Chain A
Amino acid sequence: MTTPTSTRALTWQRRARALRTGWRSFRAQRGAVAGLAVLLTIVALAVLAPVLTDESQLGIINTMSNPALAPPSGEFWLGTDENGRSVLLLTWWGARVSLLVGLAATLLSVFIGTFVGIVSAHFGGWLSAVLLRFTDFFLVLPSLVLAIALSTVLSRGVGTIVLAIGLTAWPTTARLVRAQTLTVQARPYIERSTALGAGHGHLIAKHILPGVLPLVFANTTLAVASAVIAESTLSFLGLGDPTQISWGSMLKFAMDSGAVTNGAWWYLLPPGLGIVCVVLSFTLCGRGLETVLNPRLRGR
């Protein structure tokens, strides 16, 4: 028997190698790389917003001297909103909430999905049957309808939106994880572990999770894209927290204040294009990751 340390070292070596191979295969896909680059830029800009920009200009009592709904100019590159705030600044800061909601909602849904998926595949019996039935039920519910209902019922706020998206988006992850868990469990080494007396906890933590996680990761990337869109949709319907600047709430205000009628394209385009950029980048990255993980897809 090898010592525990060397087993671990071996495992890590193997994982590092897999990661390198994966990265090479990812890098070969131009779309995915472009998506990743755009994404990293946007995330960096969003994180650095407090350093690079003047947050006080988001407060509407500080912009009282600026013109309202002014077209782009040297001072305001993307014009101003109905409160005289710079649309560029709003879009910049809006990225923070939109991305945050997208990521948080995805984490929630992936967490629920992974949990349900693994449990239903690993334990079997009536628990599995019930969970599967439950997943199937949620899978067929129109998620937008359910998300609308949930965010109507709960009080307004970013947390509610995260909850509404998270609670409606998990079933696909659950199905995916369940299928993958079943595949992993069919492998001979699991049988060996069981024979050696490994408990459920050990099996799940040491064998199933590592086997499932890469796929979950790819799935997460794709799910963020949909969560970002869902956030904007719910905010647009007036179900979000309008005091938080997100791309969705910006579009709602553009709509409500009559910016469209006014021909204020500078107010309508930036948040929408922001959403398209982020969603497209996440989708490209996700597809790239899937290709890496699923060699069958390679070359498509």
Chain B
Amino acid sequence: MSMRKWAVGVAAGMLAVTTAPAVAPLGAPQADAQDDTGDRTVLRLGVTQSIDTLNPFEAIMASSTELMRLTYESLTMPSAEDMTPTGALAESWDTSDDDLTWTYTIRDDITWSDGEPVTADDIAFTFNLMMDDPDARTANGSYVSTFESVEAPDPTTLVITTTEPQATMLSLDVPIVPEHIWSQVDEIAGYGNDTMPVVGNGPFLITEYRAEEFVRLEANPDYWRGPAEIDELQFRFYRNSDAAVQALRKGEVDLINRLTPAQFDALSGEDDIEVNQAQGRRFYMLSVNAGAATADGDPLGNGHPALQDIAVRQAIARALDRDVLVDRVLGGYGEPGTGYVPPIFADLHWQPEDDQAWNFDPGAANAQLDSAGYERGPDGIRVTEDGDRLSFRLYGRSDRNADTQAGQFVRDWLAEIGIEVDLEIMSGNRMNELQKAGEFDIALSSWAVNPDPNYVLSIQTCDQRPSAAGTGGTTESFFCHEEFDELHAQQLAEFDRETRTELIHQMQRVIHEQSATIMLYYENALEAYRSDRFTDFGYQPADSGVIREQLGYWGYYGATPATNPNASASGTSTGLLLSGGAAVVIIAVAAGWFVTRRRRASADDRE
């Protein structure tokens, strides 16, 4: 029957088509096949956030930024000890009296990995590229926004002139690229920078990259601080943190971060695994719409008018039990929120006096609302004098797990003081849009603070509100307060650390009193590593800090392998051969059986 032939043909054809790709990608010779990993020390990271690009001018995701810091040394680097600026490419620096001209002395003993020397020209090239080409400003443009000129009068001198004093001149987190490579790049936008090995000058050099699979970096033998103790660093990508945790347990990776409290607890007691609870740079807050307006003061959006009353905002701040939030949302791994700058920056962090603090006190909150004239309506919800119910929209992001949990707590607590909350969890995209348009009442929000807090402070100034056309500005929630703006301008021009710290404290006091930004908590960074493979890392800050996602490369650079020779990186070979072999055999047997069976004349499974 021709029909049968067809069926067999189709089946065989399909088999061939579907199994071909299994072999095809591997059939190609593997030029990158590594020599035996036995005597190489490899630090394998389980990473849950994928990377966007290896182009340092475009990389904006945290993992990519981290990769770029490892590959390209920057001008200065936040120190491992306390994140104060320390020398990197620049060994020393000097400023003019008006703080507008900065002169950096560049080290003369650093080379690129292809042997070319690193000079001030490379640095000037990088900054000038960013100033000239908008595409090159994608990732780090904010650092050059006040730059007037960048020049390299000689190979060890760099002079940067700015139009106004810039506070971040010693924390320019910009990867410096080799001029002799990048001057050949025609178009920065979309340039993959994936010619392996990538020419860099950092402690590690990228040698292989497979999207969503891994990035391989090898220690730079000529690194100017001296080569790292480990030979190789791998970023292995996992879709979710649970998969990464399981990989750590099995010894497939050595170090993971961004753990949930439950994962951290689960890993705490395990053999050969050490956990690291570090202070984080991130704070969570409620952003209150206390009267959205444009930079000219024209009202915007549809925020609830009652939130323009400071009494309502302060009552909300008092109705929240931050200890419970820390306990439940963070599993105890965090601190209740007080000042705007997180306590990891010990000197910049500000705390209210105890009698000024917004301690959990529903009674006081109720009393404050009573005396401000918000009577409870028949349904227990308070009303304004105009008869508007105190019913607020609370928005949170669906991709941030904590928002759902914290949002429910806030909703239930505010119900206790006669405020109705409609909690809506939405995509980050939609939330940005609503927040930008002032069409919200309260939003759950979060920021990570850099050693120089100028940026997170600036998003609370009047100037950052949008123009009349509704565009521009990077305001967080349309906060605008005269005293705050004055303090902000003063601290920007103040280069004496102590005086500036005091000004920043004052700014936090204003934020606290105004309660348009209600601090919830500071989250700890939770990490875990294989203690049978590594004994120590470079923490930042040194006493209570993180290993991963630092503002620097200290974590991996300072990784110390365990001396136990038995713990080898490849512990899966037996299982691999067994089960991989079994899988291939099963597939082959099944396919063979299917085909040959049709040819056999007699059958053995008689009914």
Contact = CB atoms under 8 A, between A and B. Distances in A.
Contacts of B328: 60, 64, 68, 82-84
B427 A261 contact: no
Nearest to B399: A238
A264 interface: yes
Contact of A259 (B262, B324, B427): B262
A255 B426 CA distance: 19
Size bracket, chain B contacts: 20 to 34
A82 B264 CA distance: 13
A260 interface: yes
Given A256-B401, A262-B266, A59 B241 contact: no
B398 interface: yes
Nearest to B429: A152
A243 interface: yes
A37 B517 CA distance: 54
A258 interface: yes
Interface string A211-251: 00000000000000000000000000011011100000000
A241 B408 CA distance: 13
Contact of A156 (B266, B408, B409, B426): B426
A252 to B, nearest CB: 9
Contact of B407 (A155, A243, A264): A243
B424 A256 contact: no
Given A68-B331, A261-B246, A155 B262 contact: no
15 contacts: A61-B412, A64-B327, A69-B262, A82-B262, A156-B426, A239-B398, A243-B407, A243-B408, A253-B404, A255-B240, A257-B260, A257-B261, A259-B262, A261-B246, A263-B266
Contacts of B40: none
A264 B261 CA distance: 14
Which has the most chain A C-beta neighbours within 10 Å: B331, B412, B425?
B425
A64 B329 CA distance: 11
B401 A257 contact: yes
B398 A258 contact: no
Interface string B298-329: 00000000000000000000000000100110
Interface majority SS (helix, strand, loop, mixed), chain B? helix
Contacts of A64: 324, 327-328
Interface in B501-522: none
A242 B324 contact: no
Interface residues on A, range: 20 to 34
Contacts of A59: 408, 412
B259 A156 contact: no
Contacts of A156: 398, 424-427
B356 to A, nearest CB: 26
Contacts of A69: 262
Interface in B249-281: 259-267
Interface string A70-95: 00000000000011100000000000
A59 B265 CA distance: 24
B37 interface: no
Given A260-B242, A261-B242, 13 more contacts: A60-B409, A61-B412, A82-B261, A82-B328, A82-B405, A83-B328, A152-B427, A156-B426, A239-B398, A257-B260, A258-B259, A258-B261, A262-B263
B245 interface: yes
B597 interface: no
Interface string B414-435: 0000000001111100100000
B124 to A, nearest CB: 44
Contact of A242 (B242, B404, B413): B404
Contacts of A258: 241-242, 245, 259-264, 266
Contacts of A152: 427
Contacts of A243: 404, 407-408, 423-425
Given A238-B399, A255-B240, A257-B262, A155 B430 contact: yes
B262 A264 contact: yes
Contacts of A84: 328
A261 B408 CA distance: 25
Name the residue among B246, B262, B427 with the largest chain A CB count within 10 angstroms: B262
Which of A152, A256, A259, A264 neighbours the largest number of chain B CB atoms within 10 Å of its CB?
A256
Top 3 nearest A-B pairs by Cβ distance? A258-B263, A258-B262, A258-B260
Contacts of B246: 261
B317 to A, nearest CB: 17
B562 to A, nearest CB: 24
A152 B266 CA distance: 33
Given A59-B412, A60-B412, A61-B412, A262 B262 contact: yes
Contacts of A256: 260, 401
Contacts of B324: 61, 64
A259 B266 CA distance: 9
